[in-house]
Chains A and B, each alone.
Chain A
Amino acid sequence: MKVPMNWRRAMGAAAMALSVLGGGAVLGLAGPAMAQTGATKDAPDYSKMQKRDLIVFTSGNQVEGVVLSETDTQVHFLLMIGGIRSETTYDKSTILEIKRNEFKPKETKDGDKSEVKDESAPVMSSSSGNSYDHPVDDKGKPIPAGATKVYIMNLTGEFGHDVSNTPMKEAMDDVVKAQPDVLIVRFNNDFSLNGEETADYGIDLYQYDVLEKARELDTLLMDRINLGGEFKKKPHVVAWINKALGGAAFLPFTIPDIYFTSEGRLGSLGVMETLFAGMGDEVVRQKQRSLRVGRAKGLCAKGGHDERLMNAMSWGAYVLSYRIVGGKVEFYEGMPPGPDWFLLKDDGFVNEAHRDTLQDRVRLKGNDFLTLDAPTAFNIGFSKGTADTVDDLLAKMGITRNYALMKTKSPEIWKDWSRNIDKAEADVTRLIREFRAVEVKPPAQYEQRTEARGRRIRLLEQIKSIVKVYREAINPRKVGSPDGLIDQLDITIDRIKTEQTLDRRP
C-alpha cells in the first residue's frame, strides 16, 4: 500500500537503505534531511587574497574583490569591503563590466610583488570558438544567413529523473550558444514516478510531489530566456505536447504557446483531496493543499493560462464547464448552465452519480479528472494547434519556408544524463551489496578486521560521491532519499572509525 507523501516514501526508503547498510541501531532519522554543502572543504584561503578585480553594475554601483569563478550567466565573487571578505554570486545580467586585474598586487617587504595563487582564476572562461558560429542543420548542411533557426529540445523519460536540473542547465547552455529563433520543447514523458509507471487512463495520486521540481526547471528554462539577458533576440518558445501526464504536466503551463500532437495528452496531476488524507487535522491538510495548488496556479499564470484549468486538474470535487462566445472561451465553475455550454470536468471523484464508467476511463473518455487531449485543448484555447510533424508545427506557427532545424547537442545531453543516472543507481546498489559482503569471520585477527573496516569505508565513500553528484534525480525507491542517505553514510563511516579506535591488538 502506498504512503501518501513523497517524503514519507523517501524516508521509508532511506530507512530501508540504512538497514541494508546495517546501521539501524543508533542512526536516528528524527531530524529533517539536510543537504550538505561540502563547499568549504577545499576552499582557498580567502584571507590571503588581495583585491584584484572590479565589477561595475548596470546600476552604476561598483564592487571590489576577486572573481572566483564564472559561468555564462553568473559570477562568483569574493567581495572585499575594508577588511571584510564575503563570497557572493552576481547575475551577469546586472553587470555592465568586469575590470579584471584592475588593482595591482601590493608589494611585499622584500620588494616582490605578492602573487595571488591562481586558484581564484575563473574555472570556466567565457566561451570561445562557439560551435554555433557556423550553425548547421540536422543533416550537417550549413544554415544560410537569414534562415529561421529552429532548436528542438526533446524531453523524454521520467520527469524529475530523466528530466532534471543538471541536464536542463546544460541543454539551456547549449541553447544560449545556439541563439535559435525558435525553441521547441517537446514533451513526451513517461507517466511514472520513482520508476513506477501508471497507465495513461489511470491517476497517480502522488504526482503533485513533482511540483517543486517543475518550479526549479522553470527557472532554468523560461526564466533564463525571459530574465537572463543572454539572447541577442529571445527565441520564440513553444511547448509541443505528446505526453505530459503527471508531474510532466506542470512545466508546459509556464510556456505561453502550446501545441499538441493529435495523440497529445496533458494532465493527470492527481487529486488534492487525497493529499495527507488520514493525517493530522483537516485545516492543516487544507493548508498543505492550498499552498501546492497556489504554487501550481502560479506556474499557470506565468504562462498566461487560465488558473481555473489548474483547479480542474487538481481538485476532484471541482467542476468546470466552458462555451465559445464570439470565438472566445468562457469558463463556468459548475455544471453546464445551458445548452451552449460543454462540461470539461465533473465531480465524479466525490459524486457517485457522476462517476466515470470503467469503459469510459480506459477509452480516455472520462471526465472525473481533467486531462486535456488535443481537440479539447484547442477548443478551450489552451493549445494553439495540433501538429504531428515539425513541419506541420512550424506551419501552424506561421513559419512555412526558409527555416532550418539546427543540429544541436541537446539529444546527447539528455541521453547522457539518463544513461548516467541509471548507471549511478545501479552502481550504488552494487556497492551496497559489496559493502554487505565484506565479512570478517571469527576468529579474525586485528589486521583482518582493520582491512575489512578500511574496505567498508572506501565503499561507503564511493556511494557518497555518487549520491552527491546525482542526488537531484536519484530514485529514492532504489537507494533511499539522497539527502538522508548522505548523512547516514557519514555516521556509518564514523561508527566504523570508532569501532576501529576501540579495537585492540590481542
Chain B
Amino acid sequence: MRIGFFFKALAMTLALAGSVAMASRAMADRIILKDGTVLEGKITREGERFYFITVKIGGIEQNKFVNRDDVKSIERDSAPAPDPAAAVKAPDAAPEAAAKEGEHHSGATRLALLHFGPPNSWHGTVENMVGRDIGVRAFREVVPLLEKDKVDIVVIAVNSGGGMSLEMPKFQDLFEKVYKPKFRTVAWIESAISAAAMAPWPIEEYYFTPSGNMGACTEFNMSNLVATKGAPLEEILFRMEKVSGWGKKDPAIMRAMQIMSPLSVDIDSNGEVHWRADEDGQVVLNHKDKIFTITASDAVKYKFARGIAATQEELVKAMGLQEAEWVAQDATDFVDKSLRDNDAAFKAFNKLFEEYEFHIGLAQQLPDKQQRSIELARAKKLLAELKSKLSLNAVFPLFVGATPEWFKEQEDLIKKLAELP
C-alpha cells in the first residue's frame, strides 16, 4: 500500500513529537458516497477528480480510490490532504524519509500498463485467448514489481476476443482482492469480448479507446455452439451479479451481455443514468432478442466509462491527472513476455498433440509387431511429454480435447497395441 509521501513524512514527524492525539484522530475522515456507502478512515491524497482514503477492513488497512463524481459529501476530521506535487517540495518534514522516498517518487502520479491481451501494435503475432494466452499467474506474480515501483495506478489494457470461463473468476478475485486494495485499478478497453469482458468486471473505473467495444459474454461450448444451460447458467449469472456489485455496475448490463435480455436507460434531470432490464427506458440499448455489446461512445454517453483515450497521454488526461509518469516497465515487460511465452507454449503443445495423433494412428495401422513397437515407443514418449506439459497451463489440453479420460484411454490403447502379436 502506498501512502502519499507528504502524509508519511508528516505522520513520522508528529509521531516523533509524541502526538498521540493525532494518531488516534488519524482514521476519522468520512466520505459519504452517492450510493449511501460510508468510507471512514484517513484521506491521504486528493486531486481535482479523486480521493485516496485509507480505511481499515477486518483489521487490514486498504488504500481506496474514490472518484469525486461518486461522492455525496465529506466530513473531515483532519486537515485536507495536501496536493501530492506540493508535498514533494514540502520542506523539513522528516528530511531523511523525504530523501528515501524521493528516490522513487517525483510527486507525479505513477502509472503502470499491463496488457490483458496483445495490443493492436503487435499485429496479430500473438493470440489473445483468456486462460490460454492471457493467464492470471503473470498478473499475480507482477504485483511485487508494481509495489516495488510504488505504482499508484495500474492500467489494465484489454484487447481480447474471449477465452476460457475457468480463468475468469481467478482474474476477478485477483482484481477485486489484490489489485483494488493496493492500486487505483483502471480498465482501458480496446476490445473486451466474452471472458475478456467478464474478467476485469470488478474494476470500477473504465476508459475506452475510440474503437473500444465490450460485451457478448454468452458462455457456450466451442465445439457445437451450444450455450450453457440450467444450473451452470444460473451459477454464472449469479456470479456476475455479485461481481457487478464489486465493480459498482448495474447487474442488468452484464445480464444483457450474457443472455438475451433487454436493456435500456433513463437519464434523470440531474444527468444521472438509471439502467433498466426492459425496453421501456428513454433509450433502448439492447432488445430482448439480442446480446449486448457496448461501444466507446455509448459507454461514455451512459457513464459506463469515464472517457475515451487513444493513447497513454490521452488516458492520463482523461483520468484528470495533472502530472503523471509511466513506470514499472519491468512489470509491463513481464506480462508481455507471459503473453508471448504462453502463445508459443500452446503452439508447441498443439504440435506435440498432433504428432502424437500421427504416431499412434500409424501404430494402429502397422501389422508388423517390430515396426509397430517403434511407433508405439514414439507415441508413448510423446504422450509422456504431453503430460509433462500439463503443468504449464491446465487449459491447454482442453483446446485439443486431451482430458484426463483421454490420457487414460491413450495409455490403455498403447498397452493394448503393444500386446498384439
Contacts and interface: CB of A to CB of B under 8 A. Distances in A.
B167 to A, nearest CB: 17
B295 A26 contact: no
Interface stretch (A10-18, A132-140, A259-267, A276-284): A276-284
B337 A28 contact: no
Contacts of A282: 260
Contacts of A89: 122
A291 B225 contact: no
Contacts of B290: 286, 290
B355 A284 contact: no
Contact of B347 (A37, A81, A215): A37
B325 A59 contact: yes
Contacts of B124: 216
A294 interface: yes
Interface in A253-304: 254, 276, 279-291, 293-295, 297-299, 301-302
By DSSP majority rule, is chain A's interface helix, strand, loop, or mixed? helix
A284 B218 contact: yes
A465 interface: no
A88 B343 CA distance: 14
B351 interface: yes
Nearest to B329: A61
Interface residues of A, number: 65
B354 A283 contact: no
Given A30-B400, A494-B355, A286 B218 contact: yes
Contacts of A35: 347
A32 B123 contact: no
B194 interface: yes
A307 B213 CA distance: 12
Given A286-B290, A297-B213, A276 B225 contact: yes
A165 B218 contact: no
Interface in A10-62: 25-28, 30-32, 34-37, 40, 57, 59-61
B205 interface: no
Interface in A157-171: 165
B358 interface: yes
Contacts of A494: 355, 358
B88 interface: no
| Chain A CB within 10 Å, residue with most, of B216, B259, B297, B357 | B216
Contacts of B358: 26-27, 491, 494-495
A302 B399 CA distance: 34
B124 to A, nearest CB: 6
A35 B351 CA distance: 10
Contacts of B226: 280-281, 284
Interface string B346-378: 110011011101111110010000010011000
Given A31-B399, A284-B218, A165 B227 contact: no
B211 to A, nearest CB: 3
Given A88-B333, A301-B210, A291 B362 contact: no
Contact of B123 (A37, A220, A498): A220
Contact of B225 (A91, A254, A280, A297): A280
- Sorted from nearest, which 5 A-B pairs have the closest CB atoms? A280-B225, A26-B361, A294-B293, A298-B211, A291-B216
29 contacts: A31-B401, A32-B399, A32-B400, A36-B347, A87-B340, A88-B336, A165-B123, A254-B211, A279-B225, A280-B227, A283-B259, A287-B194, A287-B218, A290-B215, A290-B293, A291-B215, A291-B216, A293-B293, A294-B215, A294-B294, A294-B295, A297-B213, A301-B295, A302-B210, A302-B211, A307-B295, A490-B351, A498-B359, A498-B375
Given A61-B329, A282-B260, 16 more contacts: A57-B329, A88-B336, A215-B120, A284-B227, A286-B289, A287-B194, A287-B220, A290-B216, A291-B293, A294-B214, A295-B191, A295-B213, A297-B213, A301-B295, A302-B210, A487-B350
